[in-house]
Amino acid sequence: MMRSFLMVLCLFPLFLGGCGEEITHDQPLSRENIHAAQGVLGLDFNENERELMQADLDEQREDLYALRLLDLPNEVLPATVLRPWPVGWLPPTDGKPAQWSDPGSRKRPADLNDLAFASIGELGQLLRSGEVTSVELTRLFLKRLQVYGPELECVVSLLKEDALAAARRADLEIGAGRWRGPLHGIPFGVKDLLAVEGTRTTWGATPYRDQRLTPTATVVRRLQESGAVLVAKLSLGALAWGDVWYDGRTRNPWNLQEGSSGSSAGPASAVAAGLVPFAIGSETWGSIVSPSTRCGLTGLRPTFGRVSRAGAMALSWTMDKLGPMAHTAEDCAMVLDAIRGPDDRDPSVIPADFSYVPRADLRGLRIGYLPGPVLDAGASEGSLPEEILEGVLYDAALADLRRLGAELVPLQPLTFDTKPLAIILSVEAAAAFEPLTLSGRDDELVRQTRFAWPNVFRAAHFIPAVAYVQAERARTLLIAEMAERMKTVDLYVGPPFAGDDLLVTNLTGHPSVTLPVGMLDEDSPYSITFTGRLFDEATLVSAADIWQRTTGHHLLHPPRYSRR
């Protein structure tokens, strides 16, 4: 993959102010072409050096054209595999199984729509007690998807017949006492970048809208093996950016005039509106965190290497992660427990325990906190601007953590300048979709702006391979600095978009859970993000869960979808 980016040293259609005619691959490069190219890249080679390298550049260009002739579908992995942890580090292996909270005794409501926002634990208790059946729950959520899906523009494919068949099987098994676990009989949806045999996998983009992929993605297969019932494939921003896809813009259930953010737009919108109890999203750089914040739900981004991405669209082989989006932190933990662990298809995944135990309080935990928005003590509450309200909510969350017994430790921002490392994503995404760019079919994507994939893919072809390697080496230093930070705390909290923390933690592979922290106004939820140690989602999510249960912010739902 890295060799293909040597093209920037020799493959410019150079029209730069009198730099010569457009180059075709069967023409030798001129000295003027090479001189113009080094100007684009900020290099300083003299005339003799350019003359000496000319033959090498011509040969490299031939190799690059040969590479383009190879059949490299999106699912083909690079030979290199990221391990974002320090040398000598080992994952937790205490072997203890996860434990779940007692959901209490809940009776069947007169109107099943009252279960639209119930937790997985509550729904599971109703299923095991026989108060409701999986078929009834599946029909409930299928109907809500049919009624509300079109206005939210969040559904790509409704899988009605397959879902009802799976629900009938679940009811037979539960009735016979063959309970598979907390997800047995629970409906769910998946972001439509996950392959599911027998239906389309569109990636939200016009060139792929009729695409059918096999085999079924590992996460989907594992959820089905746990007894969960797949009811829908949900929208994503085209090729996993934003909330605009080939059939519209996915809407925010709190405010239909706004998008739901992305790229896990459909999962966020559907869960927040009570159309599914949980969904699988993905994150490369904020695609779970951002829509969870916008739509006011809980999203878990697992450690890189925790969950197999086999069968998922590849955007960045060293940054992509799959994770659950649900109503509660413990819901997310239940889903993670079902989907985690290696398979025979994704070499980045390693075995690691997930010994989740519910907490009564936060005593004994050192929780770091990032600087929040600066508060204006002189402003009255009725006149507070949004950034000040964010600070008020953040400070209240810190106070709640203290009351629960946590020792709070202020954290200073990392000294590392992370922004230049963003080229890692640009380069890997451009490689993943090079055939789309070179064929010209990137013009079919809806969004054609500077901050959209078509432009980013094209521009990334001008990033030198040397720069990509240097960025990866710098990433090693960033991983080491984050490892030192995490030695001082068990986890840390911060606003969801504090500084460059979102980019840092996606590059270093750290897990996070984003939860509602209150409302900025009547239709604008806001969130707080808990970030944990590598493969220590058990501590991370249990801490988030007890804070969430205590504060109750997750019990607020969009009025349009929560009333009968």
DSSP 383-447: G--HHHHHHHHHHHHHHHHHHTT-EEEE-PPPSS--GGGGHHHHHHHHHHTHHHHHHTGGGGSS-
- Contact predicate 477/504, CB 8 Å: no
Is the pLDDT at 375 greater than 90, yes or no?
no
Q: Is 321 one of the annotated active-site residues of the chain?
A: no
Is the pLDDT at 377 greater than 50, yes or no?
no
Q: How far apart are the C-alpha atoms of 274 and 114, rounded to whole Å?
A: 10
State the pLDDT at residue 38: 87
Is the pLDDT at 237 greater than 50, yes or no?
yes
State the pLDDT at residue 94: 73
Band of residue 544 on the pLDDT scale cut at 50, 70, 90:
very high
Q: How far apart are the C-alpha atoms of 308 and 105, rounded to whole Å?
A: 35
State the pLDDT at residue 1: 34
Q: Which of 3-17, 448-462, 531-545 has the lowest mean pLDDT?
A: 3-17
State the pLDDT at residue 29: 85
At CA 312, angle to CA 311 and CA 318, rounded to 5?
115
Band of residue 263 on the pLDDT scale cut at 50, 70, 90:
very high
More confident residue, 92 or 156: 156
Q: Which of 189, 193, 230, 190 is nearest to 208 (CA)?
A: 193
**For a pLDDT cut of 90, what percent of the chain falls above it?**
82
Band of residue 382 on the pLDDT scale cut at 50, 70, 90:
very low
The label of the residue with tokens 């150079």 reads 14
Give pLDDT tens digits for 457-495: 999 999 999 999 999 999 999 999 999 999 999 999 999
DSSP calls for 264-288: SHHHHHHHHTTSSSEEEEEESSSTT
State the pLDDT at residue 379: 40
Is the pLDDT at 510 greater than 50, yes or no?
yes
Q: Which of 1-5, 42-46, 166-170, 204-208 has the lowest mean pLDDT?
A: 1-5
Measured N-to-C along each axis, helices 120-129 and 134-152 cross at an angle, to the nearest 10 degrees, of 150
- Contact predicate 59/7, CB 8 Å: no
State the pLDDT at residue 40: 85
Band of residue 159 on the pLDDT scale cut at 50, 70, 90:
very high
The CATH number of the domain covering residues in 112-360: 3.90.1300.10
The active-site residue out of 157, 226, 235, 263 is 263
Q: How far apart are the C-alpha atoms of 38 and 46, rounded to whole Å?
A: 10
Q: What is the mean pLDDT of residues 191-220?
A: 98
Give pLDDT tens digits for 183-194: 999 999 999 999
User: Looking at the DSSP assignment, which residues form a beta bridge with residue 325?
Assistant: 279, 299
Is the pLDDT at 394 greater than 80, yes or no?
yes
State the pLDDT at residue 352: 94
**Identity of the residue numbered 314:** A
Contacts of residue 387, defined as CB under 8 A and 6 or more positions apart, other chains included, come to 373
Is the pLDDT at 329 greater than 60, yes or no?
yes
| Burial class of residue 466 in the structure, from the number of CB atoms within 10 Å of its CB (0-12 exposed, 13-18 middle, 19+ buried) | middle
Half-sphere exposure of 283 toward its Cβ, with a 13 Å CA cutoff?
31
| Burial class of residue 414 in the structure, from the number of CB atoms within 10 Å of its CB (0-12 exposed, 13-18 middle, 19+ buried) | middle
Q: Is 191 one of the annotated active-site residues of the chain?
A: yes
What is the average pLDDT value for the chain, to the nearest integer? 92
**pTM for this entry:** 0.93
Q: Please state the domain extents for the chain.
A: 1-70, 112-360
Q: Is 234 helix (H, G, I), strand (E, B) or coil?
A: strand
The active-site residue out of 191, 290, 316, 527 is 191
The label of the residue with tokens 């033959």 reads 55
- Contact predicate 457/429, CB 8 Å: yes
Q: Which of 67-81, 82-96, 112-126, 215-229 has the lowest mean pLDDT?
A: 82-96
DSSP letter (8 states) at residue 341 = B
Contacts of residue 82, defined as CB under 8 A and 6 or more positions apart, other chains included, come to 304, 305, 317, 318, 348, 509
More confident residue, 262 or 90: 262
State the pLDDT at residue 564: 54
The active-site residue out of 287, 316, 348, 527 is 287
State the pLDDT at residue 384: 57
Give pLDDT tens digits for 28-62: 888 888 888 888 888 899 999 999 999 999 999 89
